[in-house]
Amino acid sequence: MTFRFCPLCATTLAPVEQAEDGGLKTRLRCTACDFTHWNNPTPVLAAVVECVDRGGRLLLARNAAWTSRMFALITGFMEAGETPQEGVAREVTEETGLTVDTVSLIGVYDFQRMNQVIIAYHARTHGEIVLSPELAEYKLFPPQDVRCWPAGTGYALADWLRAQGHQPQFIDMARRP
Ligand SMILES: [Zn+2]
């Protein structure tokens, strides 16, 4: 997804080279006003959801829009007017129905393919699981049984596993059909 028109004056945007602090840079700019489409990465919140009342198993979920059988972390966009900690707790509750007891930062990861920056938390949760319509199904895994994927949130999961004393196992994406 990219911008085609200036959001300020509706002129068609064009790639224009211009001097910036870092030197000459070509970006989509408006030729009528001073608007520049910076295309900064979007912050996405992600949670390794631990169900403390289910033996510490991890909840991974499959997005209803996905055709693959991948189960992944709970993720969502950060919203205006909330801290990342509030945002990740909100996403976990909205998407799973779980009550979030605590959140702690795992790390920050790039996901350049989607122009996102992932802020990943460990969320300790309890309660009844009620999935939002966005999610098709969930699975509960003992931490040592999960497989990580070699991209943004998968690296977050791997880092969390290592911190818990588990050796992360990665899915070989090249072998997936
Ligand atoms: Zn403009």
Burial class (CB in 10 A: 0-12, 13-18, 19+), 154: buried
pLDDT of residue 122: 98
List, for residues 39-56, the tens digit of each pLDDT value: 999 999 999 999 999 999
pTM of the complete model: 0.90
* Helix locations, 82-166, DSSP H: 84-96, 152-163
Residues with CB under 5 A from ligand 1 (ion): 6, 8-9, 11, 30, 32-33, 35
Give the pLDDT confidence score for residue 175 in this predicted structure: 63
Strands 147-148 and 169-170: parallel
CA distance 75 to 132: 13
SS3 readout for 14-25: EEEEEEECCEEE
Whether the per-residue pLDDT at 82 is higher than 60: the answer is: yes
Of 67 and 174, which is predicted with more confidence?
67
pLDDT at 21 over 60: yes
Tens digits of per-residue pLDDT, 119-145?
999 999 999 999 999 999 999 999 999
CA of 6 to the centre of ligand 1 (A): 5
For every residue of 10-65, DSSP letters joined together read: -PBEEEEEEEETTEEEEEEEESSSS-EE--PPEEEEEEEEEEGGGTTEEEEEEETT
